[in-house]
Structure formats: C-alpha cells, structure tokens
Amino acid sequence: MTSKLLLISVLTSAMLSGCAENPANSNINDISTNNQTLNNMNNKQQNPLLKEWSGKYNGVPDFDKAKLSDLKPALRTGMLLNLEEIDKIANDSSPATFENTIVALERSGKALDRVFAYWGIWSSNRSTPAFRKIQTEMAPELSAFYSKISQNSVLFTRVKAVYEGDEMKSLREDQKRLTYLTYNSFARNGATLTGKSKLRYAEINKRLAELHTKFANNILADEENYVLYLNKSQLGGLPESYVLAAAAAATERDQQGKYAVTNTRSSMSPFLAYSNERELRKKVWETYYSRGDNGDENDNNALITEILTLRHERVKLLGYENYASWRLEDRMAKKPENAMKLMKSVWPAAIARVGEEVADMQKLAEKQGITDKIMPWDYRYYAEKVRKDKYALDSDEVKQYLQLNKLREAMFYVAGRLFNFDFTLVKKGEVSVFHPDVKVWEVTDKSSGKHIGLWYLDPFSRTGKRSGAWASTFRGYSTFDGPENVLATNNSNFVKGQSGQPTLISWDDAETFFHEFGHALHYLSSSVAYPGLNGGVRDYTEFQSQLLERWLMTDDVINKYLVHYKTGQPMPEELINKIKKAATFNQGFKTTEYLASALIDMKLHTTDPANLNADQFEKETLAQLNMPEELVMRHRTPHFGHIFSGEGYASGYYGYLWAEVLTSDAAEAFSESDGGFYDKQTAEKLVKHLFSIRNSVDPAIAYRLFRGRDADVSALMRDRGFPAAQK
C-alpha cells in the first residue's frame, strides 16, 4: 500500500487530515459513488492523474498535463481501486501470512499514491480558491476512505494474526518491524474499538478532517490578503537586496513603482531587522503574528477549541488520559513528562539569555537617545545593532556572500563528500514540472554512476504557495518489487531577486536550506526493502536534517561557495571569524520563541480542553512560564499550522529540541574525529546507521550503533552557549 497504512496514525500531518467515517468490515460497495466514478474506475487510464508514470527515470509525474478538473474523479476512483485491493486482502481464504497480508498491504494503493503526488502540489505549491473548494469537499470523503481501512475488523484480524503468530519469529528484523508498525497503526487508531465507540471514533475523525483543512486555508488566506505596499520614502534602513526583492514582489502583484512586504516570514523577518520605521515595523509585526486571529471569517480560535475537544474525546475512547499520552507512546520521548523535562531543563537558561540580550539592546538604544522599552517589533532591529556593536558583524554584509545558487552547489558538494552522490541538472523539458521556477537534478552514485533518483527544487515565494520550507517525496525507495528510485522535492519561500540578479538570503535562511536538503538526503539514501519503512518517528526524523545544517559552517563550504555576488571573491577570513565568534549570539531569542511554541503545544494537549479559549490560554500559560514580554512565540496558537492544520506535530513540536540533542551530540562525533566534518569513517557510519535504514530500526538502537551510547544533552547546552541544563 506504499506505506499508506503505516501513515494512518499520522495522516493528518500532511494533506489529508483524519481517517474516518462509518467503519466497514470488508465490502467496497459500502462507499458512496456515482456512475461517472465507476466509469473512471473501469477506464482509469483515461484520467491522467491515475495513469502509471512513464518515460525516463522509472517514470515521473506529468505535472504539465495535470488539470484540477481531473482531481475529484481521480481521487474517488483511486479510493475505490484501493478498497478493492483491501477487500481482496481481508477476505483471502488462506491463513494470514507476512506475504499475503503485510506485503500485500504494502503493494496496494499505488494508483491513489500517484494522485496524491498531484494533490500535494495543489495543496502546498499551487493552491487556488478552486482547489481549496475541492479540498474542503474531499476531506470528509478521504476520511471515510481511511476509516474503511483502519477500522476494517476482518483486515485487522489478519494483521494481528501475523503479528502474534509463529511466523513472526522467523522473519528478518526489518520484516518484524514492518509487521509491528502495521499492527500498531491499526491498534492505535480505533481498530480495537467496537459498537458505538467505533462509530464515534470515525465521526470524530471525519469532523477533524474538515477542521484541519479549514484551519490551514484560513492561514493561507491571511497570508495572501495582507500585503503592505511601501513608497521610496519608507525604505529607510532596508538593504539594497531587500528593496530590489520587494520591488519585484510588488511588480508581480501589479503594483509597479511600489515595494511589497508580504505576510510571510521570509519577508517579515528581514524587514523587522533593518527598517528604521518603527511604526511600520509594528504594523508588519502585528499583521504577521495576527494571522488567524483577526475576528473575521478566517479567525481560527473557535476551530482550535473544537479540534482539541475532539482529539481529547477520541483518545479517551482508546483509554488514554490525554492526547499527548497517546501521541508520544510510539515516539522516542514515550511520555509527555519526558518531553516536558527536556524542555524545562533548557527553558530557564533560554529566558535568562533573553534578559541579557534585551539589556544589551536597551543600553545601545539609550546611547542613541531612545528611552522607549524594547517591544517585540524592536527585538530583531536592535539585535542587529548589538550584533554590529558587539561583534562588528553586519548581517547584510554576510548576505552578500549567500547566493542561493552557490549554496545549492555547496549542498551538492557536501552530499558528494558524505553520501557519494552526484547531481546533474536535467535538461529543460525532459522532466515535467509544475512551475517554471522548478528545476530538477538527477542523483547518481559518484563511483558507479548508478541512478538513485531525482531531486526537484521549488525555491521561491509566490501567491498560492504555503509559507515556510519543507521536503517531501513523490515516490519513496523500496526493493521488494524491484528497486524503486526516489523522487524527492525541496520547497522554500525565498524572495526572488530582480531579473538577472542573484537571490541573496540570510544566514538563518541558508541554514534552513541545508536543513530541508537534509530531509531530501534522508529520502535519497534509503536502502529499505518495503515502502512502509520509509517513514519515521517524528522526534527523530528532524535530527538528520538538523545535523546537515552544521556543514554550512565548515571551511570547505565557506571557502569554496560563499563568494561575494558582485566581486566573486571568497568571504574574507575576518568576516568568517566574526561569524564563528557570534555563533551563539541571539540564542536567547531563537531558543525562547521556539520553546514557547513547543511548551504551549504540549500544555494544550495535556489539558482538558472543555470551554478552552485559545487566546486566553496562550496568554495565561506564557505568563506562568515567565515568558519575556519582548518577544512572542514563533507560532502563535491561531496560526500554529504544525499542530492544527494536521496532527503530525500535534504534541510533537518539542521534537525539534529532542532531535537537536541528538544533532549536537552527533556533531561532536565529527568534530572529535581525525577528519573533522568530512571524516570518511564517521560519514560511513552516519549513512549506514542514521540515514539509509530510515525506520527499519528503532531510532534509539540506531543512534547507539552510530555513537556507541545514548546522546548527551550537555552537547546541546554547549552549542547554544548556555550553562549546564538544570536537573
């Protein structure tokens, strides 16, 4: 089933949100349909979204032929085809075995998987009002479809028979893990329920599917609808690269001669760091942090309460105390208490550092005759001033050496050294793309020339594209039916430079670029036999991508790829030393804004949500935590898409910190080796134990195989320049 069953427990983390309606045992005729859908089912090759991918590279999606009008019939036909496969597996008259049950599930659903490749692009990269209408309509239907699988009692009986049977003892370790993951995905998602409880579980998931979709679309609407247009007199303090990009963004919106500050982080953050116009900074800040919280048709507060209430009710049906207890049971943290312990061990040092940072800012402001208190819209601005004063480091000066294309080449270099990968640009027109900005590279093994997969890059911000940066696949790796090559994709929201000019990005954005590429390398390095093992444990899968950020600071990358966009000269040693010296600068802000969101997430999902007011809960909880008033959560609750647009990060946003502990510890393994960050032996262990195995080995075991021990939190504290963690 191309890992779809294993994703049932985290379905709402992606584009589907939920997995429910009335459960069925085995008969596919229980699902509603119409003549057109049945005709499409009988003639599935007529719908371009369903047809098997063809051409070079083991076949690729025909994005240029995709029509939105084909989406609904393709989804409905794909679901029917998949349920037909499920019906056959569930009603097999022979005894349940690993091959005829677990492997059969892995093999099912390929037509629908192909449709989801297109769905994901419309959802994340090319959203329109027309698509959102379809998305809203299809969310409950998709929920009903997944319910027919996850709550199919006949199918679950067969899965359970394999999991508890004698055959399990003779399976390979990866086959045992796949069987466990399959069984667990059923057991944790309502398969053990009966009667009214089973029906109610399905009803809840159906409603959650609708709510998650609405939440995400509300955020996107606020990002699209709020754009601040400036004139030349309002550009004080803004660097040339930002001004040129803002002009291009305005022109794209038919506002020639003006300068657009869009309601996205990539536009907001540098504006707050450089603009001399305090009232404009306040306006941009308030607009960005008020997404989903404007008391209008796109307000998310009521949705939050309903989402939390339904999640709480649902896990109560399964016997769990709260949502977080259910969610963390199969993750590295295991219990909410363990995640809270880690966060609280770092929190005091983080907010103490904020106090030091604000004191430095206030002193500098007072020297300039400004006695006003530092406010959240001032933090980035004065942090830049302090950075220059304390370290003589100008972020805009650094930016002149951070060309997007050169950074991409740097990532390829790192992938070549660590993974032995080679990247070759695919000729225009050879592979279909969904937007002219998208480029594609073939990935091969440097030694043998063996084809590994394709890497798609969609780097720029535009209307209809969700904010942030992310990585995903159109097809994952497996070998059980012959080797499947990987189709991986990275997506960013960089503000494109003017025509003919390179796109320059900040140091933070460069780290994020490397981070998301780390996810792509995780996909591309996979050596698993079964699609279902390409997933991961949420508080572990961020580790590999966070680790790759460290190579941005290596001498090889700095000296070869960080060159001035005008002169072509490498970054001078003096500037490099300033960057390294300031490596822990502003860690109070970075750690606190992140941890505040992670703590709120965990507290929301360990609290009885009855009559909860999201804004009030956020305010009161932050006050209890002694949240510094000079900054705000990275993701305020009304636009916290990680946890309310789906369930993948719900009560799991702490996972970035959990993974950062592993990251810091693993980075020290490289720094302590003879060859440093390009040490061949350490790199081989990294790929073997932490990348290629994906989810075929328990993460805790995998890390011990790499490091020889568990990770130590003290490495994280050293990285951030904090005192030792509180016990």
The reported pLDDT for the residue numbered 446 is 97
Question: For 323-351, how does the pLDDT look when each residue is reduced to its tens digit (9 = 90+)?
Answer: 999 999 999 999 999 999 999 999 999 99
Q: What is the DSSP letter of 677?
A: G
Distance CA(86)–CA(50), nearest Å, equals: 18
What's the first-to-final CA gap in the chain, in angstroms? 45
Dig out the tokens for 355 from the structure: 């106090």
Question: For 511-569, how does the pLDDT look when each residue is reduced to its tens digit (9 = 90+)?
Answer: 999 999 999 999 999 999 999 999 888 889 899 999 999 999 999 999 999 999 999 99
Dig out the tokens for 175 from the structure: 């086959």
Distance CA(391)–CA(385), nearest Å, equals: 10
Number of residues in the chain? 727
Q: What is the DSSP letter of 55?
A: S
Question: For 5-63, how does the pLDDT look when each residue is reduced to its tens digit (9 = 90+)?
Answer: 433 333 333 333 322 222 233 333 334 444 454 454 555 458 999 999 999 999 999 99
Dig out the tokens for 81 from the structure: 């085809």
- 3-state SS, residue 612: coil
What is the arithmetic mean of pLDDT over 356-369?
A: 92
Dig out the tokens for 54 from the structure: 């063809």
Tally of CB atoms within 10 A around 672: 10
Dihedral of CA 423/428/429/432: which sign?
positive
Share of the chain residues as helix, strand and coil, in percent rounded to the nearest 5:
60, 10, 35
Q: Dihedral, CA atoms, 448, 404, 519, 329, nearest 10 degrees?
A: 170
Distance CA(181)–CA(187), nearest Å, equals: 10
Distance CA(410)–CA(413), nearest Å, equals: 5
The reported pLDDT for the residue numbered 68 is 97
| 397: exposed, middle or buried (Cβ count in 10 Å: 0-12, 13-18, 19+) | middle
Half-sphere exposure of 418 (CA within 13 A, CB side): 30
Q: What is the DSSP letter of 260?
A: E
Q: What pTM value is reported for the model? A: 0.86
Q: How far is CA 525 from the centre of its chain?
A: 19
The reported pLDDT for the residue numbered 24 is 30
Where do the domains of the chain lie, and which CATH numbers do they carry?
5-219 (1.10.1370.40), 226-289 (no CATH)
- In single-letter form, the type of residue at position 228 comes to L
Distance CA(309)–CA(299), nearest Å, equals: 18
The reported pLDDT for the residue numbered 497 is 83
Q: Which of 497, 540, 533 is nearest to 518 (CA)?
A: 540
Distance CA(126)–CA(124), nearest Å, equals: 6
